[in-house]
Structure 1
Amino acid sequence: MDGVAEFSLDEDADGRSRIAFSGPLVISTIGRIEHELRKLSSDVAVIDLADVEHIDTVGAWVTCRLASEHGAEIVGASARAQRLLDAVEGLQSDVEVQPPRLPVWERVPVAMGKQVFNARAGVIGVVGFLGQILLGFASLMRHPTRFPVKALVRQMELVGVAALPIIGLMSFLIGIVIAQQGAVQLEQFGAEALTVNLVGRITLRELGVLMTAIMVAGRSGSAFAAQIGTMKLTEEIDAMRTIGLSPIERLVIPRIVACTFMMVLLGFYASVVAIVGGAVVGQFALGIPFFTFLERIQEVVPTYDLWVGLIKAPVFGLIVALAGCYHGMRVRGNSEEVGLRTTMAVVSAIFAVIVLDAFFAVFFTEIGWG
């Protein structure tokens, strides 16, 4: 059949097994018969190329491999085909395509060692990035008129004002859950009235700020990484450097200042809304009047619980902004890197926030604010 590679298996006049190819042996046709050639179980002594119309490097390589596997002799090749056969004949290799795999008790420590070794580049990058930010702050302090006020206000709107609905809804529901579940457990001891203490202290001290930081990391931290990363890919940041503008001053510092400042307000706002959610549960499920619940909050929650949350909030905001901006500035190569760095920004920010929250819990307990 014209235009299709075929082969036949028979015996020649001397009784030897013989494969006769016909048609074009090229990359577009060889795939049709290559799998069948691999399944040949009988030994082949002769490979006849007399009826082959065209042959390319792939066809020559398949022919040479077949001849090598069966110890066959290639006959009937044209001058062009013989040149290709001679060129690829020495390319045969018995090396395994996949190297042997180390056992798991060796593979896991080796992989962990590589990760630890490669982490040094990340540490050096973070330290260098922090140094650039400090230099940027110092430069803006020397030249206050260069501070990008409009960019700061815009980022405060995006990080803070635009986040109020989702953070308010999340906090309200968290307050409801804490109050309802806490009341169920405290009811076993006849201490439902202590639900006020539970809601007030846990929201002002821990969950209000922590959940807000996680939400800001997923919302604004990812946006920082994606925005700056896209600007890196489109060479906008290189263009800024070309015209004498510092990307750290124009892009990074406004985002860091806005996120750090707005986290204080968002954390306090989240705690207040969560307490309101708890008061709603108290009104309808515990028989505690709404305003009585709020008045009790002032009596049972120590003032230092509020300060604990307000101290942690800017630190968490700083961590979230640093993670987002750092990973955005580290984007290289292609658009896939933007998605990867955005994911890394969110994960690293949430991880760092939780670790710092544990540190703060121990620290404040040691100084008597437990």
Structure 2
Amino acid sequence: MTNKNGTLAIHGDWTLNDYQTLKQRVAEYSGQQWNTATIDIKSLGRVDTAGASLLAKLLGPELLAALTAQETSLPSEQSALLHAVADALMQKPSPEPEKLTPVSQFLTETGKTVEAIWHLIYLLSGFVGQIIATLSVVLPRPKRWRVTAFVAAIQNTGLNALPIVALLTFLVGAVVAFLGATVLEGFGATIYTVNLVAFSFLREFGVLLAAILLAGRTASAFTAQIGAMKVNEELDAIRTLGLDPVELLVIPRVLAMMVSLPILTFVGMLSGLVGGAMVCAISLDISPAQFMAIMERDIALQHFLVGMSKAPIFAFLIAAIGCLEGFKVGGSAQSVGVHTTSSVVQSIFIVILLDAVAALFFMEMGW
């Protein structure tokens, strides 16, 4: 670095090896004012980030960026490095956030929410399609069935959930019967408490309560299991071995849910009816035999079939959402918790939404 006739010529290597020497030379020229006409960097040799930071200190980041853009004889890698260091050292004031009115802020948040929901629907639709495509490949080939994983998933999703489903539906059946007896007593129609309990559990409560319990209990477990595997890079190992994670992890869980939820729905219907029958026997003097006779006379088989028909659809979507959220987990434990919560919320929401749509459909069809 030399100063001749008011022009500062920068030459030689500006690297970490010569940092102390260069730092002393830069200190000698500190405080002087330079411009692009009085700086010559054509003879600049090798440069690294340490040397570039000294050049920025000597000339100023703005002047260094201007020289880098003006001087075309420098290698492109050198120019890019100097420009990047100059940009990083420039003191650019951060723009002030735009102040939004309450209406604009509400519309902005609404737009973000709608966009997020659309993105979730888009991902779920693609994942459902991938599951169906994998099923179409695996099911015709019995050698590719993973029976052990399937049976283990049935035990976890169905058998272990049986007591809590039976207890909850029994208690809800008792509550519905109490409610019906209280309301219908004013009309002298307490006998119709049997119809109320039977209709509600065969068509709605049996499948809905079982699905919500599995959404909270099993979908979260699927997300946590697959998410932990992703955090531990086990999914990458599975792909490295030439295996398909959807076939290995998702298909057994989806099929197990589609077997478990109809069974749990049936158990929930029976438990709810038992709870209602117990309340009718205690409070309304309707014996279990009379309870069953009224059901046989007034309740058609189609109500049972309507409730059971929803179970496989709910099971498929709950399992798909739980597995999809597991695959979306990032590389931290916090991400596992966030997506586990998201899978539970999404599963319960989709179950209630589809149940409402199905109720309207069956009502319009006269079923």
Class of the TM-score when normalised by the shorter of the 2 chains = 0.7 to 0.9
Query: Residue by residue, what CA displacement relative to the aligned partner does 1:321-361 show, whole Å, maximum 9, x if unpaired?
Result: 11111111111131111111111111111111111111111
- In the alignment, the residues of structure 1 paired with residue 229 and residue 182 of structure 2 have an alpha-carbon distance, to the nearest angstrom, of 51
Instruction: State the AA in 2 paired with 1:316.
Output: F
2:258 to 244, 257, 260: 260
Alignment match, 2:176? 178
- In the alignment, the residues of structure 2 paired with residue 119 and residue 189 of structure 1 have an alpha-carbon distance, to the nearest angstrom, of 46
User: Aligned runs of 1:291-370 on 2, under 5 Å?
Assistant: 291-369=289-367
Residue 160 of structure 1 aligns to a residue whose secondary structure is: helix
Instruction: State the AA in 1 paired with 2:111.
Output: G
Residue 242 of structure 2 aligns to a residue whose secondary structure is: coil
CA contact (8 A) 1:217 1:320 kept: yes
Query: Which has more helix, going by share of residues?
Result: 2
- In the alignment, the residues of structure 2 paired with residue 296 and residue 115 of structure 1 have an alpha-carbon distance, to the nearest angstrom, of 49
Cα distance change on mapping 1:192 and 1:133 into 2, 3 Å? same
1:187 to 185, 201, 205: 185
Identity %: 41
Q: List gaps (5 residues or longer) in structure 1.
A: 1-83
1:115 to 113, 116, 131: 113
- How far 1:217 moved relative to its partner? 0.2
- How far 1:131 moved relative to its partner? 2.8
- How far 1:94 moved relative to its partner? 7.6
Residue 102 of structure 1 aligns to a residue whose secondary structure is: coil
- In the alignment, the residues of structure 1 paired with residue 175 and residue 302 of structure 2 have an alpha-carbon distance, to the nearest angstrom, of 24
Cα distance change on mapping 1:255 and 1:92 into 2, 3 Å? closer
- In the alignment, the residues of structure 1 paired with residue 291 and residue 121 of structure 2 have an alpha-carbon distance, to the nearest angstrom, of 48
- In the alignment, the residues of structure 2 paired with residue 141 and residue 253 of structure 1 have an alpha-carbon distance, to the nearest angstrom, of 10
- How far 1:135 moved relative to its partner? 2.6
Instruction: State the AA in 2 paired with 1:364.
Output: F
Alignment match, 1:105? 103
Query: Residue by residue, what CA displacement relative to the aligned partner does 1:198-248 show, whole Å, maximum 9, x if unpaired?
Result: 001111111111111101100011111111111111111111111122111
User: Aligned runs of 1:226-241 on 2, under 5 Å?
Assistant: 226-241=224-239
Provide TM-score, normalisation by structure 2.
0.73
1:162 aligns to 2:174 (yes or no): no
User: Aligned runs of 1:1-370 on 2, under 5 Å?
Assistant: 99-369=97-367
- In the alignment, the residues of structure 2 paired with residue 363 and residue 109 of structure 1 have an alpha-carbon distance, to the nearest angstrom, of 33
- How far 1:297 moved relative to its partner? 1.8
Residue 254 of structure 1 aligns to a residue whose secondary structure is: helix
CA contact (8 A) 1:172 1:273 kept: yes
CA contact (8 A) 2:222 2:326 kept: yes
CA contact (8 A) 2:230 2:331 kept: no
CA contact (8 A) 1:147 1:249 kept: no
CA contact (8 A) 1:225 1:338 kept: yes
Query: Residue by residue, what CA displacement relative to the aligned partner does 1:96-143 show, whole Å, maximum 9, x if unpaired?
Result: 8x6353111111112222333344443432233123212311221343
- How far 1:279 moved relative to its partner? 0.7
Query: Residue by residue, what CA displacement relative to the aligned partner does 1:274-320 show, whole Å, maximum 9, x if unpaired?
Result: 00001110111111112321232222211110010010111111111
Residue 195 of structure 1 aligns to a residue whose secondary structure is: helix
Q: Which has the higher contact order (CA 8 A, sep 6+)?
A: 2
Q: List gaps (5 residues or longer) in structure 2.
A: 1-56, 61-88
- In the alignment, the residues of structure 2 paired with residue 116 and residue 293 of structure 1 have an alpha-carbon distance, to the nearest angstrom, of 48
Cα distance change on mapping 1:118 and 1:218 into 2, 3 Å? closer
CA contact (8 A) 2:124 2:321 kept: no
Instruction: State the AA in 2 paired with 1:359.
Output: V
Instruction: State the AA in 2 paired with 1:194.
Output: Y
CA contact (8 A) 1:201 1:305 kept: yes
